[in-house]
Amino acid sequence: MFKLLVEAVEDYSIFLLSPEGVVSSWNRGAERIKGYRESEILGKSFSLFFTADDRANGVPELILQDARRHGRYETEGWRVRKDGSRFWARATLNAVADEEGTIIGFAKITRDVTAARETSRALRTAALTDPLTGMWNRTAFLDELDQWVENDETFAVSIIDLNGFKLVNDSLGHAAGDALLKSFAEHLHDAASEGIIAARLGGDEFAAAARTPEPPSCDEFVETISAALRKPVMLGEKQSNVSASVGVACFPSDATNVSELLARADAAMYEAKETQSETPVTYREGLLKRSASRRFLDREIAGAIGRGEFELEYQAQTSLRDGAVVGREALVRWNHPVLGLLYPGEFISLAEANGTIVELGRWVLNQACSDAAAWADHVRTAVNVSALQLADRDFARTVAEVLATTGLDPHRLELEITEATLIRQRSEVVEIFADLQSLGVKIALDDFGTGFSSLDTLLAFAFDRIKIDRSVLHASLQPSRTRGVLRAILALGHALTTTVLVEGVETQKQLELLRGEGFDEVQGFLTGRPSSSDEPVPEGISRIASRRAPRDPLR
């Protein structure tokens, strides 16, 4: 019955070999896969199934030796059918021994996996290929560069961004834009004959790289890329010249890994774009920090939260009545592995543009509440909220869940919202405000005096605090200005039973002025620099000497 079962199997080639590799049995699967009938193959060597090159290299004999030595051998490779056609085989060879342990032959099982292999290859090709241009995509390009780094190759990378591509899309349509991308990709493909690899990273951004073992090689690479850019491209039905901004960086002189290298090439490209350079810009020291490439950061910010690159600092908010610290504002920083410490002015607009501000805002809220819950002084913690967060109708529920998870008393959380945000989201925010205040959360109007500052906004929403922007304080103290603006805001806030806080306080003179006018609270470098959650909190303003504090950088 077992013999009949083996012989009946059609999906697998199952047969026995003698110790010398001669075929001694044959099943239906072997006949279907290899094409030989039993009468045609019995007594012949299994080397007939191998390619001519494998036979010339002694592969069949090596397989038998290995199976004899280890008792089993597994392999994949091309095999040959009776009609000469090839198929990709996955084969296992097991040694068969008698009761005394003497090998009396081998059991061989083979499966035709050509279709599965082709499917796998097609899927991998699709995963590594840009569907529009047929070029490598970002993943394939980075994999190749990683291999070059591992092999200690010296090479150069260029980041290429087409100028005016959005205008082409908007004026001539996406079909023309796609045609432009494909035409440009062909020029980069042509450069492959010069030893250059190229990829489309996404949108209208491309990359190219080449090994540069000698210093002149880098110059040749730059010239080859420049020549490719000078070729006319198809724009609609016409040939046109389309400019591009190109940045170049070299390994290992400019960077120690692929991520750093791309950051520097991207910074050089951004410099080329800003200076409208018609030739590639090669990275130079300091360019990365100065450029702080928005494109590079835009790609990086999406995964920065998962990589744990964000952190919070806290700045004290101090009472002018008794000098005590009554609150802290959470200020987010991005500790980028390449660019170093970045302040909100360098990345918040990017996060808002690509939508990651919602995820970032949720992280800030959760981290700030968690830190505050661990503090012993029980002062309030202020967290900034963006317009996109308020656009989420589940925002109040998110706040409630964070408070429940961290154990923070809702009355210790204050959400800071700008008036511009309220105007964009006014109808939706009214209901959200009610939900938040029903939780016990406090709400502050931030950056008051920088834009709209309308009485209608103050009357429409019951704010717990008004924060006067530092620009109002500094403008009011100029010789040509009057303090009447400050006094009017203070009177209005107090009329609405709202606490009024002034930001940007840097000198003892400013402090004394605000105290004399009757303001409630202050925030600024004079009363406390931003610091991490585990650093000592300022004890208030009672011990502050009469001195000028350094100006507050980007918050």
Q: What is the CATH number of the domain that holds 63?
A: 3.30.450.20
Higher pLDDT, 412 or 535: 412
pLDDT-based confidence at residue 551 (cuts at 50, 70, 90): very low
CA distances from 413 to 363, 399, 520, 522, 531 (A): 15, 10, 19, 18, 19
Residues 12 and 149 occupy one common structural domain: no
Higher pLDDT, 460 or 69: 69
Please give the pLDDT value at position 294. Answer: 67
Residues 394 and 479 occupy one common structural domain: yes
Please give the pLDDT value at position 549. Answer: 42
Alpha carbons 111 and 12: distance in angstroms, whole number? 5
Nearest-10 crossing angle of helices 165-172, 174-190: 140
Residue 552 reports pLDDT greater than 60: no
Alpha carbons 171 and 173: distance in angstroms, whole number? 6
Yes or no: say if 467 and 416 are a contact pair by the CB < 8 Å rule: yes
Q: Is residue 554 part of a domain?
A: no
Residue 367's H or E segment, with its range, is helix 357-374
Residues 62 and 160 occupy one common structural domain: no
Alpha carbons 210 and 394: distance in angstroms, whole number? 50
Q: Which of 256-265, 400-409, 457-466 has the lowest mean pLDDT?
A: 457-466
User: Chain-wide mean pLDDT for the chain?
Assistant: 84
CATH of the domain at 157: 3.30.70.270
Residue 111 bridge partners (DSSP):
90
CATH of the domain at 435: 3.20.20.450
Total tally of structural domains belonging to the chain: 3
Residue 164 reports pLDDT greater than 90: no
Q: Which two tokens stand for residue 330?
A: 């959470």
Choosing from 80, 96, 118, the residue where a domain stops is: 118
Q: Is residue 550 part of a domain?
A: no
What is the phi-psi region of residue 209: left when phi exceeds 0, alpha when psi lies from -120 to 50, beta otherwise?
A: beta
Q: Is residue 108 part of a domain?
A: yes
Residue 80 reports pLDDT greater than 50: yes
Residue 396 reports pLDDT greater than 60: yes
Residues 280 and 305 occupy one common structural domain: no
End-to-end CA distance of the chain: 82
Please give the pLDDT value at position 452. Answer: 54
Alpha carbons 342 and 348: distance in angstroms, whole number? 10
Q: Is residue 234 part of a domain?
A: yes
Higher pLDDT, 520 or 3: 520
pLDDT-based confidence at residue 397 (cuts at 50, 70, 90): very high
Residues 339 and 279 occupy one common structural domain: no
Amino acid found at 184: F
Q: Which two tokens stand for residue 267?
A: 């910074």
Residue 369 reports pLDDT greater than 90: yes
Residue 547 reports pLDDT greater than 60: no
Could you report the per-residue pLDDT of 440-496, keeping only the tens digit for each? 999 998 888 765 556 667 777 788 999 988 888 877 666 555 577 788 888 888 888
Tell how strand 155-162 and strand 244-251 pair up.
antiparallel
Q: How many CA atoms lie within 13 A of 448 on its CB side?
A: 25
Could you report the per-residue pLDDT of 98-116, keeping only the tens digit for each? 888 888 999 999 999 888 8
Residues 311 and 253 occupy one common structural domain: no
Residues 371 and 416 occupy one common structural domain: yes
Could you report the per-residue pLDDT of 492-530, keeping only the tens digit for each? 888 887 899 999 999 898 898 899 889 999 999 998 889
Average pLDDT over residues 386-413: 90
In total, the chain counts a number of residues equal to: 555
Q: Is residue 197 part of a domain?
A: yes
Alpha carbons 180 and 204: distance in angstroms, whole number? 9
Residues 473 and 332 occupy one common structural domain: yes
Residue 550 reports pLDDT greater than 50: no
pLDDT-based confidence at residue 160 (cuts at 50, 70, 90): very high
Residue 90's H or E segment, with its range, is strand 86-97
Could you report the per-residue pLDDT of 169-206, keeping only the tens digit for each? 766 777 888 888 888 888 888 877 678 899 999 888 89
Q: Is residue 546 part of a domain?
A: no
Residues 231 and 314 occupy one common structural domain: no
Would you give the distance in Å from CA 304 to the centre of its chain?
A: 6
Residues 138 and 242 occupy one common structural domain: yes
pLDDT-based confidence at residue 545 (cuts at 50, 70, 90): very low
Residues 256 and 351 occupy one common structural domain: no
Domain that holds residue 248: 129-291
Most confident among 65-74, 125-134, 482-491 (mean pLDDT): 65-74
Alpha carbons 155 and 139: distance in angstroms, whole number? 18
Choosing from 229, 260, 291, the residue where a domain stops is: 291
Residue 244's H or E segment, with its range, is strand 244-251
Please give the pLDDT value at position 411. Answer: 94
Residue 197's H or E segment, with its range, is strand 196-202
pLDDT-based confidence at residue 290 (cuts at 50, 70, 90): low
- Cis before 252 (ω within 30): yes
